[in-house]
Homo-oligomer: A and B are copies of this chain.
Amino acid sequence: MQGTDFSNLQAVTRLSELAGKPWKLNVRGGLDEERVNRFRASGCGFDLLFATQRLDDRVLDGLQDLADEAGLVEQFMAMKQGAVMNRIEGYESEERQVLHTACRDIFSDTPLAPEATAQAREQLERLRKFLEELDRGKLRNHRGERFTTMVQVGIGGSDLGPRALCQALAGHALPERRVRFIANVDPDDAASVLAGLDLSRTLFNVVSKSGTTLETRTNEALVRAALEESGLDPVHHLIAVTGAGSPMDDPKRYRRTFHMFDYIGGRFSVTSMVGGVVLGFMLGYEGFIELLRGANDMDVLAEKPGLLDNLPLLMAMIGIWNRNFLGLPTLAVLPYSQMLHRFPAHLQQCDMESNGKSVTRQGKSVRWKTGPIVWGEPGTNGQHAFYQLLHQGTEVVPVEFIGFRRSQYGHDLKVEGTSSQQKLVVNMLAQAMALATGQEHDNPNKRFPGNRPSTILIGERLTPYAMGALLALYENRIAFQGFCWNINSFDQEGVQLGKVLAGRLLDCLSESPAGAEHSLERGLLKAAGLL
């Protein structure tokens, strides 16, 4: 099941040779109509145009060989079927299945991981009833009024994905339903969100798998205090999503509880109840099911062996070409959709927490580069900001553009012959062209080197279905890359040391232990003006 080391794969040797002379986009014939038509693929309502990557047919063949040789689709199938993929051989590790795909494998009578899907269906049924009670007015506040706002209290995986998707689908929200988020242990986060709310008509959804996350526990305490100050009973306003048996799994403290499971990592949990409760509140139950349908369709697409039939695999391999063979350390994800403005932050988590690793699944140090630094902001805004560096800086940044042919709200206007939506999409295409072809000029300051790679992903309209497909496209791309690099994409040991040191510093603050072994901690606290 476990893969071979990346550097030992035969396809890697061949691709390294090809990388000595990558395709040139900035010369005559480097980018033309025929190339645009040849380097494209489609699936689940999305088209992927990758003529503006620095690759040719030989590279594409090499990437297909790499995917085959590393058994990427086989590993993906094993994951979906419940193999224990979250482990490091021979060392203490989480030893867990990785079954976020089971949450959406609910449209078939023969799901690949039947037990996990049965648990997902059970939670979905609880959600359906809960939302029905809200719709019918069975579940109301103490004055008999309906709840209009849900505030999700969670951090990391319990925040970024659900927040990005709620913002992405705001135009599909039910009337009189809005959602907010509190995540940061910074007390100003809760204070600024609570300042704008009618608490009496607000439900707080506290989300933590372990039930012990420091930030979430602290923010729950702030929320409970604010409710009590307003003369409200917290138990009428709090619901929870947590692991069965966690300290938060307590019906006396929450009006309703939903469960999440060990086999779903936080950053992959949007399609579990972690995202389901808040998205269901906002979109309605059927809206959330449409989102799951899009994700599941993309999961099925990801089972295809051929790169050109499998968008997540294709994007994974293009990413590996840029990262390992062209040596580019970052990746910009630039949505031409204001609704997706927090999607790059979610991907940043999903990608960098999964693949920012240096140890193989056999516990050896990697001798190749793993996950890139992922960042991004929406276009066209970015065109008036950091694109200067993309075009003329000394660092080459590969780009993934994301856009839609139609707007979400449908409120548009023709100015000078074209609609805003047309201007938006056309700008995305123009940027890919400009990055690729560059421009000669007598004035050196007006020269563009070109040869800068990008990919255009375009869909029809940002609906719940499209959002689900887009989410799963990225989740699966990230998993494929982790399989290829032979790393465990599903743990996060890198977050532990900071927690331990923070605990030590907090001890110094509250107990001020003497002793030389804390001199660095005390020195830092003093220099920062905290002691």
Contacts and interface: CB of A to CB of B under 8 A. Distances in A.
Given A183-B381, A329-B330, A510-B418, A365 B444 contact: yes
B395 A523 contact: no
B520 A409 contact: no
Nearest to A504: B430
Report which residue of A34, A345, A372, A373 has the largest number of chain B beta carbons within 10 angstroms of its beta carbon.
Answer: A373
Contacts of A190: 411
Contact of A373 (B186, B330, B405, B411): B330
Given A36-B527, A494-B392, A337 B445 contact: no
A383 B415 contact: no
A70 interface: no
B352 A385 contact: yes
A524 to B, nearest CB: 5
A523 B32 contact: yes
A499 B424 CA distance: 12
A498 B434 contact: yes
Interface stretch (A15-23, A356-364, A467-475): A356-364
Contacts of A412: 187
Contacts of A506: 417-418, 422-423, 426
A174 interface: no
Contacts of A339: 186, 188, 192
B458 A528 contact: yes
Interface in A167-189: 170-171, 183-189
A373 B359 contact: no
B373 A373 contact: yes
A160 B384 CA distance: 10
A300 interface: no
Contact of A497 (B191, B215, B391, B420): B391
Given A405-B530, A407-B187, A423-B214, A433 B373 contact: no
Interface in A388-416: 388-395, 397, 403, 405, 407-413, 415
A445 B527 contact: no
A420 B218 contact: yes
A409 B189 CA distance: 9
A92 B445 CA distance: 9
A209 B430 CA distance: 24
A522 interface: yes
A446 B496 contact: yes
Contacts of A354: 388
A488 B370 CA distance: 35
Interface in A37-74: 37, 40, 47, 49, 51
A170 B189 CA distance: 11
Given A377-B348, A392-B356, A393-B357, A338 B188 contact: yes
A2 to B, nearest CB: 14
A156 B384 contact: yes
A370 B357 contact: no
A204 to B, nearest CB: 15
Contacts of A183: 338, 381
Contacts of A372: 395
Contacts of A369: 394-395
Contacts of A434: 497-498, 501
Report which residue of A267, A385, A494 has the largest number of chain B beta carbons within 10 angstroms of its beta carbon.
Answer: A385
A27 interface: no
Contacts of A155: 380-381, 384
A495 interface: yes
A147 to B, nearest CB: 18
Contacts of A460: 529
Interface string A327-352: 00110000011110000010011001
B389 A373 contact: yes
A333 to B, nearest CB: 11
Nearest to A391: B494
A76 B22 CA distance: 43
Given A36-B527, A523-B32, A443 B92 contact: yes
Contacts of A348: 377, 385-386
Contacts of A171: 188, 191-192
A205 to B, nearest CB: 17
Contacts of A497: 391, 434, 438-439, 448
Closest 10 CB pairs of A and B: A356-B389, A156-B384, A33-B523, A349-B385, A356-B393, A191-B409, A430-B502, A392-B494, A430-B501, A375-B375
17 contacts: A32-B520, A33-B519, A37-B523, A185-B424, A186-B407, A187-B419, A222-B413, A349-B384, A356-B395, A357-B393, A358-B393, A371-B389, A383-B498, A387-B494, A405-B529, A425-B530, A426-B502
Given A356-B395, A371-B393, A430-B502, 5 more contacts: A156-B383, A187-B407, A191-B410, A357-B392, A388-B494
